[in-house]
Amino acid sequence: MRILRAAMIGDVVGEPGLQALEEGLPKIIAENSVDIAIVNGENAAAGFGLDDAAFARILAAGADVVTSGNHVWEQRDFWQTLETDARVLRPANYPPPAAGRGWLRIEKAGAAWVVINAQGRELMTPIDCPFRGFDQIIAAACPADAPSAIVLVDFHAESTREKESFAYHADGRAAVVAGTHTHVQTADERVLPNGAAYITDLGMTGVLGAVLGMDAQICMDRARRQVLYRMEPAAQGSDAPKIQGIIAEIDADSGKALSIRRI
């Protein structure tokens, strides 16, 4: 049996998150013999969306693919990069003609990998169905006459029920289904019956001693006054930013997960 290791890293929030990623991801990759690293970068550009500078820093830190979510549209100048660079994904189930792509197939560490970015609809914008979208991507990316591939999914969603339902829908076809979006790491990591490693949320990369990586005072003012003050990433202060995510071990031959553990 040949074992491959995939790291999936939670939403990078602003400059503190970028700094934590730059310092910590190379160590995570080296110390855990990681074969492929997926990083969600949708909050990397000052807390809202992605820009070219943040994208370049995430790649330089060791990410092979950068996923995103509903905030990826915040920086309009980045839409051109979504169109031209296959290493950055937006949720696949945004309807056409949304910029960019939602999945890619790459070769790494002697294996084929399919990375899929999808977005939930419960308590979020009701875009196209992620379940049917996943089925269509698998049919296109993993045809019967092509070599098998290891499938990794970043499911960017609010609802725990929808995330777990999606994971069971993908079980047996995906090696990993990792939830993102809430910035709160969950403690329910497990391998499902047909070999998909699952966690409801990877967490975030940034200042944990804050509100979702954002300035706590601004978030409190929004909640108490019901005024939509613009949120800002929390200052680092005495709380050094952290990386959260998972590492999954995968059987390269079967494409099924053997284990999953939190970072």
H-state helical runs in the chain = 14-31, 52-61, 79-84, 130-141, 160-170, 216-225
Which has the closest alpha carbon to 260: 2, 8, 1?
8
DSSP state of 33: T
Exposed e or buried b for every residue in 92-110, given b needs 16+ CB within 10 A? bbbeeebbbebbbbeeebe
CA distance 162 to 250: 24
Neighbours of 33 (CB within 10 A): 12
Contacts of 203 (CB under 8 A, 6+ apart): 10, 11, 183, 184, 185, 186, 244, 245
Exposed e or buried b for every residue in 116-144, given b needs 16+ CB within 10 A? bbbbbbeebeebbebbebbeebbeebbee
Among 71, 156, 181, 183, the one annotated catalytic: 71
DSSP state of 43: B
**Coil vs helix vs strand at 103:** strand
Active site residue 71: yes
Q: How far is CA 93 from CA 90, 145, 190, in A?
A: 9, 25, 26
* Active site residue ranges: 71
